[in-house]
C-alpha cells in the first residue's frame, strides 16, 4: 500500500513538472532527473568514454594519482557523502585510500536508481589487498626516508576483525589449508600473533574470492591444488 502510494505521488509529481516546464516560454525544459532511467544512465556512461568528453577521465586520473595525499588531510573517522555519485567509478580511489586507514561510511546520492545500482556493483569489487585493508589486517609500513619501520596493521572494521580472529584460530587448528600455512610461518620463525594475523588475512582473502567469483570452498584453486598434492603424497 505504501509503495503504491509512493508510485502515485511520483506520477502526479511527474505530470505536474511536465505541464509546468513544457509550458514555459520562450524556452521549454524538463528536469534532467526524468532522463536518468536505466537507458539514460547507460547512455551517459557511454558518453563519458567519447574522446570529446575528457572531464570524467581527467577527474579519475587526478583522484587515482593523488588519493593518498588527499586522504592525509581528511580527519578520521571519515564519512563521505557524494552528490551525483553516478557509478562511483571515480570515488572508489578515495574510498579505497580511506579504507586502508580506517572504517569509512559512504553515502552515494543520485537521482538515478540505475546509477546507484551500478555504484554498488563498482564498489563491490575488491582485490585481496583492499579486502584485507577493509577488515584491518593489511600490513602498513612506517618507512621514512632511509628508515625502515615495522609493518603494522591498523584501522578497518573492528567487529568483523573480532569474528575473523576466532575463525582464524579455529582454522589454524582444524582447517588443513590454514594449518599448513601456519606451520610454514612457524618454521620461518614468525611470532604466534603474527601467524594468527596472517591467517586472518589469508582467510578474508579466500572469503572475498569466494563471494566475488561465486565459488564454493571446494571450487577454489587453492583447495584443488592442496587436495592434488595430498593425493599425490598418498600414492607416492
Task: Give the residue carrying C-alpha cell 536508481.
Answer: 113
Residues 6+ apart with CB under 8 A from 36: 44, 110, 111, 112, 114, 115
Tens-of-pLDDT digits for all 236 residues of the chain? Answer: 434 544 677 778 888 888 888 888 888 887 776 766 666 666 666 676 677 777 777 888 888 888 888 888 888 777 888 777 666 677 778 887 887 777 667 777 766 665 555 555 555 566 666 667 666 777 666 656 676 666 666 666 666 677 778 888 888 988 888 898 999 999 999 888 888 888 988 888 887 777 667 777 778 788 888 777 777 667 76
- pLDDT recorded at residue 5: 46
The set of cell numbers assigned to 51 is 574522446
- pLDDT recorded at residue 6: 42
Contact 172, 199 (CB under 8 A): yes
Task: Answer whether 0.85 is exceeded by the pTM.
Answer: no
Contact 85, 115 (CB under 8 A): yes
The set of cell numbers assigned to 23 is 509550458
The C-alpha angle 125, 130, 136, rounded to 5 degrees, equals: 135
- pLDDT recorded at residue 185: 92
Strand, coil or helix: what is 112? coil
Render the burial of 109-124: b for 16+ CB within 10 Å, e for the rest: ebebebbbebbeebbe
What are the structural domains, with CATH classification, of the chain?
Answer: 22-125 (3.40.50.150), 133-138+150-235 (no CATH)
Whether the ω angle into residue 26 lies within 30 degrees of 0, i.e. cis, is: yes
- pLDDT recorded at residue 158: 67
End-to-end CA distance of the chain: 68
- pLDDT recorded at residue 11: 77
Amino acid at each position: 500500500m505504501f509503495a503504491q502510494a509512493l508510485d502515485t505521488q511520483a506520477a502526479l509529481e511527474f505530470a505536474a513538472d511536465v505541464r509546468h516546464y513544457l509550458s514555459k516560454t520562450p524556452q521549454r525544459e524538463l528536469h534532467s532527473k526524468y532522463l536518468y532511467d536505466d537507458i539514460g544512465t547507460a547512455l551517459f556512461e557511454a558518453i563519458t568514454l567519447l574522446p570529446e568528453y575528457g572531464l570524467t577521465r581527467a577527474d579519475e586520473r587526478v583522484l587515482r594519482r593523488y588519493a593518498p595525499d588527499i586522504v592525509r588531510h581528511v580527519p578520521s573517522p571519515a564519512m563521505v557523502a557524494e552528490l551525483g555519485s553516478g557509478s562511483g567509478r571515480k570515488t572508489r580511489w578515495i574510498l579505497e585510500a580511506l579504507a586502508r586507514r580506517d572504517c569509512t561510511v559512504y553515502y552515494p546520492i543520485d537521482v538515478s536508481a540505475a546509477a546507484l545500482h551500478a555504484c554498488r556493483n563498482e564498489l563491490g569489487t575488491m582485490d585481496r589487498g583492499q579486502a584485507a585493508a577493509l577488515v584491518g589486517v593489511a600490513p602498513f609500513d612506517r618507512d621514512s626516508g632511509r628508515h625502515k619501520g615495522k609493518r603494522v596493521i591498523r584501522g578497518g572494521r573492528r567487529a568483523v576483525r573480532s569474528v575473523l580472529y576466532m575463525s582464524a584460530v579455529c582454522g589454524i587448528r582444524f582447517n588443513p589449508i590454514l594449518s599448513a600455512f601456519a606451520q610454514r610461518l612457524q618454521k620461518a620463525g614468525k611470532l604466534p600473533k603474527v601467524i594468527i594475523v596472517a591467517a586472518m588475512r589469508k582467510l578474508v582473502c579466500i572469503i572475498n574470492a569466494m563471494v566475488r567469483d561465486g565459488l564454493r570452498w571446494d571450487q577454489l584453486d587453492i583447495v584443488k591444488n592442496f587436495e592434488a598434492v595430498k593425493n599425490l603424497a598418498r600414492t607416492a
